[in-house]
Amino acid sequence: MSAPATRLQIDGDVAEPVSFSFDDLAAFSEVEQVRDVSRFHPKRPGDGVTLRSLLNRVCPRETADYLTLHATKDDFAASIPLAAIVDEAILVYQLDGAPYPEAKGGPFRFLIKNPAACHTDELDDCANVKFVDRIELTSGKGRDTRPHDEVQHEALHAK
Ligand SMILES: Nc1nc2c(c(=O)[nH]1)N[C@H]1C(S)=C(S)[C@@H](COP(=O)(O)O)O[C@H]1N2
Ligand SMILES: [Mo]
């Protein structure tokens, strides 16, 4: 079965917006790959590429200081400080050699290696955006629909 035509777009405050397919990411060099992300999150299997390797290809401008992760599928967004995340995040795109399944948050899922508990920090587990289809570099914080408290959080998870 061939990979779906889905792409991840990276744009905003960058010198060169780029969109990536499954095949593009699978062709990244081995040092840019992160094999078996369950090493960081036991319940989340799969392989990814480093956020750094993606940013190297779009060349963020010096004014970019936030990363805004958009999931069109369920209209979810999280905006997190770039400096704190740049060597801590992975874009998961593959499971067992195939595109990452939607049931697990694919075809692309953002993953922070050591997230804080939900709604305790900007770099929390809620920022591990599923179905991410656009990563926007911004100057200042961008759109963020993450829950702010336990009531909102429960409501989101009940969906
Ligand atoms: N697109 C999207 N990503 C999302 C969410 C969501 O509702 N939509 N929920 C977030 C929250 S609040 C948490 S705690 C984690 C849950 O990840 P899991 O479903 O793999 O346990 O995903 C995050 N990513
Ligand atoms: Mo969460």
Question: Does residue 69 lie in a domain region?
Answer: yes
Query: How many distinct structural domains can be found in the chain?
Result: 1
- pTM (2 decimals)? 0.96
* CA pair distance 85, 28, nearest whole angstrom: 20
Q: What is the pLDDT of residue 4?
A: 46
Structural domain that includes position 59:
8-158
User: Would you say residue 12 lies in a domain?
Assistant: yes
Ligand 2 mean position to 127 CA, how many Å?
7
Report if residue 3 sits inside a domain. no
In a domain, 2, yes or no: no
Q: What is the pLDDT of residue 2?
A: 43
pLDDT along the chain (159 residues), means of 10: 71 97 98 97 96 97 97 96 94 98 97 92 94 97 95 93
Protein residue closest via CA to atom 14 of ligand 1 = 126
Q: Is the CB of 49 under 6 A from ligand 1?
A: no
CA of 118 relative to ligand 2 center, distance in Å: 4
Does residue 110 line the site of ligand 1, with CB under 6 A? no
Q: List the Cα angle 45/47/50 in 5-degree steps.
A: 125
pLDDT attached to residue 5 = 56
Is 72 inside any structural domain? yes
With respect to residue 1, please indicate whether it lies within any of the assigned structural domains.
no
Degrees to nearest 5, angle at CA 12 with 22 and 149: 85
Residue 103 falls within a domain, yes or no? yes
Residue 159: its pLDDT value, please?
A: 86
Output the domain CATH number for residue 33: 3.90.420.10
Q: How far is CA 33 from CA 29, 47, 54, 76, 158, in A?
A: 7, 7, 11, 26, 34
pLDDT at 3: 42
Instruction: Let me know if residue 44 belongs to a domain.
Output: yes
